[in-house]
Amino acid sequence: MTDQQKPVDSGDKSREEEVAAYEKLRQYVKEALGNVRQKVNADTVHQAVEAGAEKLRTAGTFTSAAVAKAVTALRKDMAVTAERLGPKWEAFSEKSADLFSVWRDRGSVFLGQAATSLGGWLEKVGQKLEHQTYAAGEMTHGGAFECQACHERIELARAGYIPPCPKCQATSFVRV
């Protein structure tokens, strides 16, 4: 049986939908963060995520389950990024994921506010995250991940699901 003849796995279709919803949500949030012209704060970040999620819901393109998974994955990715930035805004342009890159050229006062607001947002949302590890089967944007068991690195070229470690089959990773 060729690939074209194989029946489509409903799990694969739902995963594809979830990844598409995630990528669209990232786009909406990045646009919202790029449009921030005044003082940025934790509520600004929260509102950007909520507004993006609402756009996805009202568009009707994705199931509510796909939107919920996309929101959960994006919040975790944003929390990990905010946590990695630390308190110094100077690190902002060096370590930020492209989601926050829209703030890079706004000047030091704005970046200082942005770093502080991400810290405030992390306190609100990040505290709900029990740990900052990623599990195999979890959706995230592209990037490098290190296996916590054998330290093998895997690279996701774009948004998708983290596979088990190709070296040891472990399922726990940290973003590097």
Report, as an integer, the average pLDDT of 103-121. Answer: 58
Question: At 96, is the pLDDT very low, low, confident or very high (cuts 50, 70, 90)?
Answer: very low
Alpha helices in the chain (DSSP H): 10-34, 42-59, 64-85, 92-95, 108-125
Residues 156 and 122 occupy one common structural domain: no
Residues 115 and 140 occupy one common structural domain: no
Share of the chain above pLDDT 70, in %: 64
Residues 117 and 156 occupy one common structural domain: no
Q: Is residue 64 part of a domain?
A: yes
Residues 122 and 147 occupy one common structural domain: no
Share of the chain above pLDDT 90, in %: 38
User: pLDDT tens across 42-95, in order?
Assistant: 788 888 889 999 999 999 899 999 999 999 998 888 877 766 665 544 444 444
Tell me whether strands 134-135 and 172-175 are parallel, antiparallel or unpaired. Answer: antiparallel
| pTM score of the predicted model | 0.72
Residues 160 and 120 occupy one common structural domain: no
Residue with tokens 């940290």: 174
Domain span including residue 107: 12-130
| CB-CB neighbours of 13 under 10 Å | 10
Residues 97 and 165 occupy one common structural domain: no
Q: Is residue 4 part of a domain?
A: no
Residues β-bridged to residue 146: 153, 174
Residue 55 is encoded by which pair of tokens?
A: 């756009």
Residues 34 and 116 occupy one common structural domain: yes
Residues 126 and 140 occupy one common structural domain: no
What is the DSSP code string of 29-69?
HHHHHHT--S---HHHHHHHHHHHHHHHHHHTSS-HHHHHH
User: pLDDT tens across 6-15, in order?
Assistant: 343 456 888 9
28 or 6: which carries more pLDDT confidence? 28
For residue 55, give Cα distances in angstroms to 76, 123, 135: 20, 25, 28
Q: Into how many domains does the chain fold? A: 2
